[in-house]
A and B are shown apart, each in its own frame.
Chain A
Amino acid sequence: NAGVMQNPRHLVRRRGQEARLRCSPMKGHSHVYWYRQLPEEGLKFMVYLQKENIIDESGMPKERFSAEFPKEGPSILRIQQVVRGDSAAYFCASSPLSDGYTLTGELFFGEGSRLTVL
């Protein structure tokens, strides 16, 4: 019974390159959330997606960042033209219900993808 799977666990990019982070939710979950954790900080909400729909992207930077959750395959967080300030841990979480959470309000997190921009 696999949990939320994220890959790659570690990604190194040079400034100006593109970073793609993938997230496969738990089996039976159709709602995905992306959070970013900058060094020495808590997690900050970025975007909430359902299959083929972006529900809430109010936490996403306006430029260079995009997210998708296609009908088939994992959710992708894409960062174009990365800068050093993008270096962070990016966490994906999933839940099964239409309001985005279980009845207990819980999200299930992956182990995160650590992006380092040189």
Chain B
Amino acid sequence: AQTVTQSQPEMSVQEAETVTLSCTYDTSESDYYLFWYKQPPSRQMILVIRQEAYKQQNATENRFSVNFQKAAKSFSLKISDSQLGDAAMYFCAYKETSGSRLTFGEGTQLTVNP
């Protein structure tokens, strides 16, 4: 069974600085998707960034980028120029290409200090 591990229950960063959230996963599949979702206090699940495993290039969305290391099964999220609005719980998630479910990690609570 696939598992997703986020080893940092809490992280904090100063406004305008950079922070990296870690995620590792376990799978025997060669093709799959990886996601980072943001959950602010409103509890809405917001997709931050996605990565297809067959793509070697790391995904980037504005201030958000990932470091995808397929051999190491690692998928970290880097947030540059952190803003107060980035404060939220961040979940890493995995999905098989042909599967029907997302497997989530336990989350990392990010605090942004002014």
CB-CB nearest 8 A-B residue pairs: A105-B33, A42-B104, A109-B45, A45-B101, A100-B100, A43-B104, A48-B100, A42-B106
B61 → chain A closest CB, angstroms: 12
Chosen A-B contacts, 11 in total, with CB atoms closer than 8 Å, are: A35-B102, A43-B45, A43-B104, A45-B102, A59-B101, A89-B43, A104-B50, A109-B37, A109-B44, A111-B44, A112-B44
B3 → chain A closest CB, angstroms: 11
Q: Which of A62-111 contact B (CB under 8 A)?
A: 89, 91, 93, 99-101, 104-107, 109, 111
Known: A48-B101, A56-B101. 20 other contacts (CB 8 A): A42-B4, A42-B106, A42-B107, A43-B45, A44-B104, A45-B101, A55-B100, A56-B100, A91-B45, A93-B45, A99-B98, A99-B100, A105-B35, A105-B52, A105-B97, A106-B35, A109-B45, A111-B42, A111-B43, A112-B43
Bound Cα distance A112, B47 (Å): 15
Interface, chain B (partner A; CB < 8 A)? 4, 33, 35, 37, 42-47, 50, 52, 91, 95, 97-98, 100-107
Which residues does chain B contribute within 8 Å of A112, judged by CB atoms? 43-45
A31 → chain B closest CB, angstroms: 9
Bound Cα distance A114, B37 (Å): 19
B57 → chain A closest CB, angstroms: 15
Smallest CB gap from A42: residue in B:
B104
Contact present for A107 and B102 (CB under 8 Å): yes
Which residues does chain A contribute within 8 Å of B95, judged by CB atoms? 101, 105
A53 → chain B closest CB, angstroms: 12
